[in-house]
């Protein structure tokens, strides 16, 4: 009985980690798109060293 509960707990943890990693991939993809848009916006402004971010 304890072994069955342990296996179910491990499956639950691995499922949760997989779901979290899937969400993190989408967050990373959105950050990449925003980063690339920053290059486009900076290039379209034509003012040289002007940046759309502060650092």
- The stretch 45-53 carries a mean pLDDT of 57
CA atoms within 13 A on the CB side of 18: 6
Query: Could you tell me which residues come within 8 angstroms of residue 42 by beta carbon, excluding any fewer than 6 positions away?
Result: 50, 51, 52
Query: Could you tell me which residues come within 8 angstroms of residue 34 by beta carbon, excluding any fewer than 6 positions away?
Result: none
Please write the tens of the pLDDT for every residue from 30-46: 999 988 888 777 765 55
Tell me, yes or no, if the pTM score tops 0.85: no
Please state, for a pLDDT cut of 70, what percent of the chain lies above it. Answer: 76
pLDDT band of residue 24 (cuts 50, 70, 90) is confident
- The stretch 3-15 carries a mean pLDDT of 87
Whole-Å CA distances, 8 to 4, 5, 11, 12, 17: 6, 5, 5, 6, 14
């Amino acid at each position: 009985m304890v072994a069955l509960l342990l296996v179910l707990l491990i499956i639950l943890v691995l499922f949760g980690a997989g779901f979290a990693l899937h969400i993190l991939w989408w967050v990373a993809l959105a950050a990449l798109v925003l980063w690339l848009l920053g290059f486009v916006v900076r290039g379209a402004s034509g003012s040289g060293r002007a940046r759309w971010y502060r650092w």
